Amino acid sequence: MIPDWGATTLFTQGQYKPEGEVLDHLHQRGVSLEESAIVRVVGDGEHIQHVELADGRQTAIQGLYVAPQVTITSPIVAKLKLETVETPMGTHIKVDEFKESSTAGVFVAGDLSNPMQNGTFAIASGTMAGVAAHRALMFNH
Ligand SMILES: Cc1cc2nc3c(=O)[nH]c(=O)nc-3n(C[C@H](O)[C@H](O)[C@H](O)COP(=O)(O)OP(=O)(O)OC[C@H]3O[C@@H](n4cnc5c(N)ncnc54)[C@H](O)[C@@H]3O)c2cc1C
């Protein structure tokens, strides 16, 4: 998505080597690859000017996007033995289309139930989980 907005460099931090189809796709999208790790982000507190790389070079950039992974910290998930799903974005709880988890009667909403963290999706999933929980109470299943 990011190459749609301008010249893009993928900093792999030396931890990931794109290959095959992924590499072809990055080339098609005009993405430059940088393997040397970013060790410092330099700016004036408001704008980023450049990043310093482990091999001593500096690269000017206008913006920096990171790809953090979500981890589940609540002990409730393990206590209720809810099944989880691993994705490149991290871990979320396995749910069906009505947001019911692998444990009957337990409904999950928000980022916990969705690999695409987004406010609108979180609200929509909360609505679905609420409706489905109410329905389950009415029909006792
Ligand atoms: C930096 C950043 C930028 C983002 N930008 C956007 C954006 O531009 N647009 C967009 O749509 N989405 C954006 N998101 C994603 C969006 O914020 C989330 O998808 C959304 O907030 C998820 O809502 P949620 O209710 O699932 O979880 P949260 O908003 O994380 O709410 C969970 C709440 O539960 C509380 N909590 C946790 N454990 C317990 C406990 N044991 N007991 C009681 N309370 C507890 C937490 O304190 C928190 O208030 C961004 C996220 C981040 C981190």
Residue of 117, 120, 121 with the most ligand 1 atoms within 8 Å of its CB, for mutation: 117
User: Among 70, 73, 79, 111, which is best to mutate for testing ligand 1, by the most ligand atoms less than 8 A from CB?
Assistant: 111
2-60 CATH fold: FAD/NAD(P)-binding domain (3.50.50)
Short-list 104, 108, 103, 101, CA closest to 129: 108
Secondary structure of residue 84 in the 3-state scheme: strand
Cα–Cα distance, 59 to 84 (Å, whole number): 39
Ligand 1 within 6 A of 89 CB?
Answer: no
Enumerate the domain spans of the chain: 2-60, 75-139
pLDDT of res. 122: 96
- Grouping H, G, I as helix, E, B as strand and the rest as coil, residue 76 is helix
pLDDT in tens, 42-91: 999 999 999 999 999 999 999 999 988 889 999 999 999 999 999 988 99
